[in-house]
């Protein structure tokens, strides 16, 4: 088996923890091998991008963090590959169609079903890939501020088969990740681009607005054209929030 053919083993499952990313980070620092997986039924301090929190009712979401050890040049494509893999896994486990909202939110019909948080030390050859997927979450069980913007595989699938389960989504995610992590970066970028939820739309971010033109395949940056026609690249670590919205 190749070094990248064992995502999900060994696996540590916790009934509850603060954050699976935190547990996986500790394991990575202690030398855990590529593919090590931490899952949890619930998180008390689930982490999202840009310092936000991630909440999900116990037992209703996939809360998973993989230790990924790949050479430095592979890390640029990792967030893109992860979003494509999670999208495919969701579509395998429920009758839904997924799009990716830059940088790597997975959307169904404009609502977020999954988020990805990449942490770690790429320069040391490891990262923690944290994945949260709302599987059987009911919107009524979400915090007020998420009810209009989030969805789950169960709700988006409208009760039609297949009925999604957390373990099925995990298995499909690991399988898809194994494939996409070693794919040609150009293929990853093309698959990402085919699911791009923002392309061609006016977008706003914390310091500006413009038209989304897709991603730069090598850096994963979002390319936008400003109202004066100049093209700008937005980098995921630097921009707090990009959302669709009419330009002024
Ligand atoms: C985001 O969309 O802001 C990223 C959300 C990532 C959430 C997952 S849930 C499993 C893993 N553990 C965490 O603390 N966060 C990630």
Question: Which domains are present in the chain?
Answer: 11-194 (3.30.930.10), 202-244 (2.30.30)
Ligand 1 center to 248 CA (angstroms): 33
Helix axes 166-181, 78-93, angle to 10 degrees: 140
Cα 33 to the chain's mean position, in Å? 22
At 93 the pLDDT is: 97
Q: Give the position, in ligand 1's atom list, of the atom nearest the Cα of 47.
A: 14
Q: Give the position, in ligand 1's atom list, of the atom nearest the Cα of 61.
A: 9
Is residue 3 pLDDT above 50, yes or no?
Answer: no
DSSP 8-state class, residue 125: T
Q: Look at residue 99 and give its three-state secondary structure.
A: strand
pLDDT in tens, 27-68: 999 999 999 999 999 999 999 998 999 999 999 999 999 999
Any ligand 1 atom below 6 A from CB of 164:
no
Ligand 1 center to 47 CA (angstroms): 5
């Amino acid at each position: 088996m190749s070094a990248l053919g064992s995502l999900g083993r060994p696996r540590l499952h916790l009934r509850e923890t603060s954050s699976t990313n935190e547990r996986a980070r500790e394991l990575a620092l202690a030398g855990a091998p590529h593919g090590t997986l931490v899952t949890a039924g619930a998180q008390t301090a689930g982490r999202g991008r840009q310092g936000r929190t991630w909440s999900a009712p116990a037992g209703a979401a996939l809360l998973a963090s993989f230790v990924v050890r790949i050479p430095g040049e592979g890390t640029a494509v990792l967030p893109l590959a992860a979003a494509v893999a999670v999208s495919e896994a969701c579509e395998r486990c429920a009758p839904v169609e997924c799009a990716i909202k830059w940088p790597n939110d997975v959307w169904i019909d404009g609502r977020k079903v999954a988020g990805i948080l990449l942490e770690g030390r790429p320069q040391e050859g490891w990262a923690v890939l944290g994945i949260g997927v709302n599987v059987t979450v009911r919107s009524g069980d979400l915090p007020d501020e998420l009810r209009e913007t989030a969805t789950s595989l169960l709700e988006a699938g409208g009760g039609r088969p297949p009925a999604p389960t957390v373990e099925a989504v995990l298995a499909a995610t690991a399988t898809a990740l194994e494939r996409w992590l070693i794919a040609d970066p150009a293929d990853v970028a093309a698959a990402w681009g085919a699911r791009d939820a923002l392309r061609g739309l006016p977008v706003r971010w914390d310091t500006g607005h413009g038209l989304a033109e897709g991603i730069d395949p090598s850096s994963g940056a979002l390319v936008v054209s400003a109202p004066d026609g100049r093209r700008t690249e937005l980098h995921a670590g630097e921009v707090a929030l990009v959302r669709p919205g009419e330009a002024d």
